[in-house]
Chains A and B, each alone.
Chain A
């Protein structure tokens, strides 16, 4: 039985992203900042992923969210929520380590990489199509190249690219897949 529900969660998150970008006058209060978080500004753990540096940054991430969020929510809203949660945790862990050395971080793209990997996995389980394998391979190679070179292949936003967050997001995706396969596959099937 296919679940035909409207992707309300995806649309809701998108409205929040756009609303925050347009309505918040001082965005620096919401960017991810490890030092401010250590001083008690815990909201930045979430809000940093919802803020964007400029319109182009917002636009591309919204498009990514619409595609991946709709796809995943269609299969299972629980899968979407789990992926969002895992993505946020993995990217946060990276940003909170001294390794990241960033004063500020913003954008949903790190988390979107978690959604991407989980969505690919769900579709592969359904179709067993080689195309999905190619897509997964392409996505991972792209992120690895960007991370190793410290560049963004196509993106052109006003902040310097930080590809490590994409790698952290992918790691979150692998984590969700592993946990689900290992323990929850029968209890909460993601595919129908």
Chain B
């Protein structure tokens, strides 16, 4: 078991070290490289995050300025946040906010270009696959500025009692064509703020921003916390600082990662929030299952196959990677075995079959790794295939894939990867570096193999990620998990396939229901080949109007499922149309849909229905109502707990002398000084 811990520990160190060494690109305004177009400025960038009831609502408001003599177009790009459903986009036209509508991607682009040609105000938010959200705004008038805001929602996990929220800003630097075409301006010239408000009925011990120690963290009450990062201009305006104003008050080049730690010893639980306007309507629910800590530690040994990205995008990072592998291998037991496979445009193994983890073997292969330089493209399939071929069916094995990039050579279709993994009984654990990796592909691969994918940001806390990975891999997993609900009519459950749950992982399920009343919820699965069932009975309410956002969250999860199906079974016009329809109905920006803002009268003239506007208004009202209320306890299994055990938490600890202890020491010190004086 310690072997697994050691490997994961070192690899996590390696991953974070690797990401650290590559943070060269950022969110920002884009200008074509080498063009004569003058640069626009980001004057203000304000981020407001509200986390409560199991999901986060993030609003980003920006002001772009044009200090030049002619009208210009602003194009702002930022990394796609994890599982973020963008449903609200506002553009201030003539000083008034106008919210956007979702159209098919091509149609939205045509309307935007048409309005731009006519010199009328227009703004467009598009998604570029898993890589970026791109916002185009026209015009930014000469000598003037424009204000826009974007709101997205995403479910929030607290794995092993540690919650994590990431505001992604760093660009991974893996899309070379894009990076060579555009020049990024990530400087905020006037004001930057990041404010996070957190409300939870579960007691929270602490908050932490590992890369932003200057953040102000306040506990407002037993159930409310706030986190704030404010720049110099903002502070001096509020009279809290007299510091001089720098020319760039903030650079949008570092992810903001926020952790919170729940109190220890909290029970495993099921929480649920619902949305149902009228008793006869179809309701939507979001169920968050936090399992009890009942998975036993693993004691048998394994073979380890390291599949390491050796492509050009790893240049400059590879030495960190070698260090990490070295550390991992040096901690293996002599009876454990390893292989190392590198991939760029081809895959090659640098070991001669499985090698026992003896110090001389490790030293030999580390020298071999260090003598090479990464280069060329990324044939991920070749690397994975080579890794799978190398497995010994007589021994328990695991693949550890470390990559920062995108499969761009050889087989690149998601389906090919999923087919490959489905043919083999092996767990794949992927470490996804940075914001620009092909996260959907890597996550799907891990899910198909019943492994897991772990996202690692430059701003992550190294010890935290180590503990998270170690905790998962050193315990049995709950496989082939299925959820069934009886006693009430439930449909459209998503995710369609849950797969495996590792120690400390939460399960979040969305679905629709009709009627109301008591329902029995069973979660079934297998642990070490034996069936296991957890059961609880609780009420689905007749109505609930506090959480209209979960309709969008359901739609986003449904779209993910449909996209997975498309990737697996190949292009299918019906499924593509279904994605488009769901996205338009729920006002979501996807690969197939974009959000456009026009002058109010132009919506009418172009016959674009204001469906999203009423949804946005409903959500904004609900947010105000939630804020006005106290913190809600959404636990639904209190009367019949689904789990007997407490939820998992990380087994580490420390203690410190504190203000109170030092206060106690003060009289001791005085007494000591008094006796010194007396005796001297």
Chain B interface, DSSP helix/strand/loop, else mixed: helix
Given contacts A64-B661, A162-B653, contact A135 B667 (CB under 8 A): yes
Given contacts A55-B213, A68-B665, A160-B649, contact A110 B655 (CB under 8 A): yes
Mark interface residues in A32-56 (1 if CB within 8 Å of B CB, else 0).
Answer: 0001100100000000000011011
Cβ of A18 to closest chain B Cβ, rounded Å: 15
Report the interface size class on chain B. Answer: 35 or more
Given contacts A102-B651, A105-B652, A160-B261, contact A61 B208 (CB under 8 A): no
Give every chain A residue within 8 A of B652 (Cβ-Cβ): 31, 102-105, 159-160
Give every chain A residue within 8 A of B264 (Cβ-Cβ): 150, 160
Residue of B nearest to A112 (CB): B657
Given contacts A28-B9, A127-B675, contact A162 B665 (CB under 8 A): no
Partner-binding segment picked from B55-63, B80-88, B462-470? B462-470
For the complex, what is the distance from the CA of A67 to the CA of B649, rounded to whole Å?
34
Give every chain A residue within 8 A of B672 (Cβ-Cβ): 71, 74, 123
Given contacts A35-B2, A55-B213, A71-B672, contact A159 B653 (CB under 8 A): yes
Name A101-135 residues within 8 Å CB distance of B: 101-107, 109-110, 112, 116, 119-120, 123, 126-127, 129, 131-132, 135
Name A65-109 residues within 8 Å CB distance of B: 67-68, 71, 74, 101-107, 109
A152-B656 in contact (CB<8A): yes
Given contacts A2-B676, A63-B657, A155-B656, contact A101 B651 (CB under 8 A): yes
Of A53, A104, A135, A192, chain B has the most CB atoms within 10 Å of the CB of A104
Partner of B655, one of A68, A123, A155: A155
For the complex, what is the distance from the CA of A155 to the CA of B657, rounded to whole Å?
7
A60-B656 in contact (CB<8A): yes
Mark interface residues in B299-342 (1 if CB within 8 Å of A CB, else 0).
Answer: 00000000000000000000000000001000000000000000
For the complex, what is the distance from the CA of A156 to the CA of B650, rounded to whole Å?
17
Given contacts A2-B679, A135-B664, A142-B660, contact A106 B651 (CB under 8 A): no
Q: Does B654 contact A (CB under 8 A)?
A: yes
Q: Does A189 contact B (CB under 8 A)?
A: no
Residue of B nearest to A106 (CB): B654
Cβ of A27 to closest chain B Cβ, rounded Å: 7
Give every chain B residue within 8 A of A159 (Cβ-Cβ): 652-654
Q: Does B265 contact A (CB under 8 A)?
A: yes
For the complex, what is the distance from the CA of A129 to the CA of B678, rounded to whole Å?
14
A109-B675 in contact (CB<8A): no
Cβ of B203 to closest chain A Cβ, rounded Å: 10
B668-A119 in contact (CB<8A): yes
Of A120, A131, A157, chain B has the most CB atoms within 10 Å of the CB of A157
Partner of A132, one of B13, B205, B656, B671: B671
Give every chain B residue within 8 A of A112 (Cβ-Cβ): 657
For the complex, what is the distance from the CA of A144 to the CA of B265, rounded to whole Å?
18
A107-B654 in contact (CB<8A): yes
Given contacts A28-B9, A36-B2, A64-B657, contact A127 B671 (CB under 8 A): yes
Give every chain A residue within 8 A of B5 (Cβ-Cβ): 35, 103
Q: Does A161 contact B (CB under 8 A)?
A: yes
Give every chain A residue within 8 A of B651 (Cβ-Cβ): 101-104
For the complex, what is the distance from the CA of A68 to the CA of B669, rounded to whole Å?
8
A142-B656 in contact (CB<8A): no
A139-B656 in contact (CB<8A): no
Name B637-663 residues within 8 Å CB distance of A: 649-662
Give every chain A residue within 8 A of B462 (Cβ-Cβ): 28
B656-A107 in contact (CB<8A): yes
A139-B664 in contact (CB<8A): yes
B660-A153 in contact (CB<8A): yes
Residue of B nearest to A126 (CB): B675
For the complex, what is the distance from the CA of A35 to the CA of B13, rounded to whole Å?
19
Given contacts A71-B672, A139-B661, A155-B658, contact A160 B653 (CB under 8 A): yes
Q: Does A165 contact B (CB under 8 A)?
A: yes
Cβ of B259 to closest chain A Cβ, rounded Å: 8
A131-B665 in contact (CB<8A): no
Given contacts A135-B667, A156-B206, A160-B261, contact A60 B657 (CB under 8 A): yes
A142-B661 in contact (CB<8A): yes
Q: Does B680 contact A (CB under 8 A)?
A: yes
Cβ of A104 to closest chain B Cβ, rounded Å: 4
For the complex, what is the distance from the CA of A63 to the CA of B1, rounded to whole Å?
38
A120-B655 in contact (CB<8A): no
B665-A64 in contact (CB<8A): yes
Partner of B650, one of A60, A142, A160: A160
Partner of A157, one of B1, B654, B662: B654
Given contacts A105-B654, A150-B264, contact A26 B13 (CB under 8 A): yes
Partner of A61, one of B210, B265, B461, B656: B656
Cβ of A134 to closest chain B Cβ, rounded Å: 8
Give every chain A residue within 8 A of B13 (Cβ-Cβ): 26, 28
Partner of A60, one of B208, B470, B658, B676: B658
A61-B657 in contact (CB<8A): yes
Cβ of B638 to closest chain A Cβ, rounded Å: 22
Give every chain B residue within 8 A of A110 (Cβ-Cβ): 655
Mark interface residues in A173-191 (1 if CB within 8 Å of B CB, else 0).
Answer: 0000000000000000000
B668-A153 in contact (CB<8A): no
Give every chain A residue within 8 A of B654 (Cβ-Cβ): 52-53, 57, 105-107, 109, 157, 159-162
Residue of B nearest to A26 (CB): B13
Give every chain A residue within 8 A of B649 (Cβ-Cβ): 160
For the complex, what is the distance from the CA of A126 to the CA of B9, rounded to whole Å?
51
A2-B657 in contact (CB<8A): no
A102-B9 in contact (CB<8A): no
Q: Does A19 contact B (CB under 8 A)?
A: no
Cβ of B135 to closest chain A Cβ, rounded Å: 35
Give every chain A residue within 8 A of B467 (Cβ-Cβ): 103-104
Given contacts A107-B655, A110-B655, contact A67 B660 (CB under 8 A): no
B661-A165 in contact (CB<8A): no
Residue of B nearest to A64 (CB): B657
For the complex, what is the distance from the CA of A142 to the CA of B467, rounded to whole Å?
29
Give every chain A residue within 8 A of B656 (Cβ-Cβ): 56-57, 60-61, 107, 109, 152, 155, 157, 161
Give every chain A residue within 8 A of B676 (Cβ-Cβ): 2, 74
A135-B655 in contact (CB<8A): no
Closest 7 CB pairs of A and B: A162-B653, A64-B657, A154-B658, A104-B652, A107-B654, A109-B655, A159-B654
Pairs across A and B, CB under 8 Å, 30 listed? A28-B466, A35-B2, A35-B5, A39-B2, A52-B654, A57-B656, A60-B656, A60-B658, A64-B657, A67-B669, A74-B672, A101-B651, A102-B651, A103-B5, A104-B652, A107-B655, A109-B657, A110-B655, A116-B661, A120-B668, A123-B668, A127-B674, A132-B671, A139-B664, A158-B210, A160-B205, A160-B653, A162-B655, A165-B655, A192-B679
The chain A residues found within 8 Å of chain B, CB to CB, are 2, 26-28, 31, 35-36, 39, 52-53, 55-57, 60-61, 63-64, 67-68, 71, 74, 101-107, 109-110, 112, 116, 119-120, 123, 126-127, 129, 131-132, 135, 138-139, 142, 150, 152-163, 165-166, 192
Since A154-B658, A154-B661, A158-B208 are in contact, a sample of 15 more A-B pairs with Cβ atoms closer than 8 Å, ordered by chain A residue number, is: A60-B657, A60-B659, A64-B657, A67-B665, A67-B669, A74-B676, A102-B652, A107-B655, A126-B675, A132-B671, A155-B655, A158-B461, A159-B652, A160-B264, A162-B654
